[in-house]
Amino acid sequence: MQVASMHFRKRAHEKLGDERLQRNLQKIKGKFVAKRRAAITELDDFEATREAGRAIRQRALDDLDAWLALFEANATARGATVLWAQTPDEINRLVLEIAFRHGARKIVKSKSMVSEESALDLAIEEAGLEVVETDLGEYILQINGYEPPSHIVGPALHKSKEEVTELFHRRHGTPRKDGIEELCLEARAVLRRHYLTADMGISGGNFFVAETGSVVLVTNEGNASLVTTLPKVHVAISGIEKIVPTLEDVATLMRLLPRSATGQSISNYVDLLTGVRGEGEYHGAQHMYFILVDGGRTGVLASEVREALRCIRCGACMNHCPVYQAVGGQAYGWVYPGPIGSILTPMYVGLENAHDLPAASTMCNQCGVVCPVKIPLPDLQRKLREQAFARELRPWSERAGMRAWAWLARRPSLYATVSRVGVRALRLLRGGNGMIRRLPLGGGWTRGRDMPAPAGRTFRELYAARRRGGDLP
């Protein structure tokens, strides 16, 4: 997928001015937040489960090479072939080699974010083969000219029912449907034909289990079950970090994933696929391949933001992020949006191509609080901000401002004096409603919102007054 993250600021402004998008974002705002909140209360001790999830994912990353070797041995013993892709381009090459080896002409696909990294669908089409996305959201985006996804769980969440109605009418040549159920039935009828005539299925993988050589797929639509069992060839593609040591670990992570993602106790379908179809077995592919992708992951593992690799792609961080909710996922300009995207994208495509993303955060830490595997997202964003500053990637005015602030902060008496003058000056700028309409040197901040005027005294002054038992303003 083409990287447009270097244009985040421009894209974010465009998205903020897109009235239709803003209406759609308002409709979904908070939807998953409330459901998640209700779902986590079902567990006796959600925080203890969260800590267990963190430990499982960290254990996998701490000995990643050993778990990957064990996975390869066990998957191979069950008749599967394990292949390794160093770069996104290698994913495409390996998939096409497999397709041509088995004479595949039509490929059905369930959701795989890693394949978005390599724009696999376009590579398949360029090679003269047919590919059909079967996740409903991905299908909508595909028939709308390969529009980029806006959310890792619901790729087409930014689209309204009316937009999908028009799209299906235009692309399927069918009468316009009113209800969501009718639209789903229409997509199902179209996709069913493809499942039954496909030669090869491609899936992602939520977890790869080292002790059994299995892939675990978690869906609500059941499309992954059909993609992976009806065609004679199944290719599962995923990043190397998705490994987990044992099936018991999967059971623990499954207590966290659907609850954090969609507020469900369990998703509608959980497929656990091990090896090729055996003698006398009714289901399963005759040929099974795993493509395990580095694509920058070993670089992340060796970096100071390695904890980001614990991610289980639940999407909770973006559902709770005020920046994501305001601009939507497509503003981020690559595969992974929201707080986790603001860390993974610069690491995978280069900080110089995405240095605005770690800055796209209010540091409110809602993402860190809800992350089911306890990734300290704001801390990692701050580390990338520091790197961007040190590499002089940020605008000179920002760097000069930070240097001036750092110089001042090292001189406490002067800092206190400047702060005292500053808050009093800002208070003079307040309007009748106690708000500042236009902030000097911070016009960007007040262009879209008012800023509450400060109290007129600094925090230190207020604190000292309270300790003395004096009145507060």
Residue from 348, 347, 382, 355 nearest 367 by CA:
382
Nearer to ligand SF4 by Cβ, of 187 and 312: the residue is 312
Q: How many CB atoms lie within 10 A of CB 306?
A: 18
**SS3 (DSSP) at 330:** helix
x-or-dash pattern for ligand SF4, window 225-264, by CB under 6 A? -----------------------------------x----
Nearer to ligand SF4 by Cβ, of 152 and 230: the residue is 152
In whole angstroms, the minimum distance from the beta carbon of 368 to ligand SF4 comes to: 9
Q: Does 39 bind ligand SF4 (CB under 6 A)?
A: no
Residue 190: burial class (beta carbons within 10 Å; 0-12, 13-18, 19+): middle
Spatial separation of the C-alpha atoms in residues 403 and 385, rounded to whole Å: 14
Q: Which of 70, 230, 314, 380 binds ligand SF4 (CB under 6 A)?
A: 314
**SS3 (DSSP) at 139:** helix
In whole angstroms, the minimum distance from the beta carbon of 315 to ligand SF4 comes to: 5
Q: Which of 154, 155, 263, 372 binds ligand SF4 (CB under 6 A)?
A: 372
**SS3 (DSSP) at 435:** strand
In whole angstroms, the minimum distance from the beta carbon of 32 to ligand SF4 comes to: 11
Per-residue CA distances from 52 to 256, 263, 461 (Å): 10, 19, 44
Nearer to ligand SF4 by Cβ, of 143 and 261: the residue is 261
Residue 85 near residue 292 (C-beta atoms within 8 A):
yes
Q: Does 154 bind ligand SF4 (CB under 6 A)?
A: no
In whole angstroms, the minimum distance from the beta carbon of 310 to ligand SF4 comes to: 7
Residue from 467, 63, 50 nearest 246 by CA:
63
Please give the size of the binding site for ligand SF4, defined by CB under 6 A.
14
Q: Which of 25, 244, 317, 347 binds ligand SF4 (CB under 6 A)?
A: 317
DSSP letter, residue 288:
E
Give the pair of three-digit tokens for residue 22. Answer: 């803003």
Q: Does 335 bind ligand SF4 (CB under 6 A)?
A: no
Q: Which of 315, 333, 337, 346 binds ligand SF4 (CB under 6 A)?
A: 315
Q: Which of 94, 107, 254, 371 binds ligand SF4 (CB under 6 A)?
A: 371
Residue 82 near residue 76 (C-beta atoms within 8 A):
yes
Q: Does 360 bind ligand SF4 (CB under 6 A)?
A: no
Q: Does 114 bind ligand SF4 (CB under 6 A)?
A: no
Spatial separation of the C-alpha atoms in residues 25 and 327, rounded to whole Å: 8
Residues that bind ligand SF4 (CB under 6 A): 260, 311-317, 340, 370-373, 375
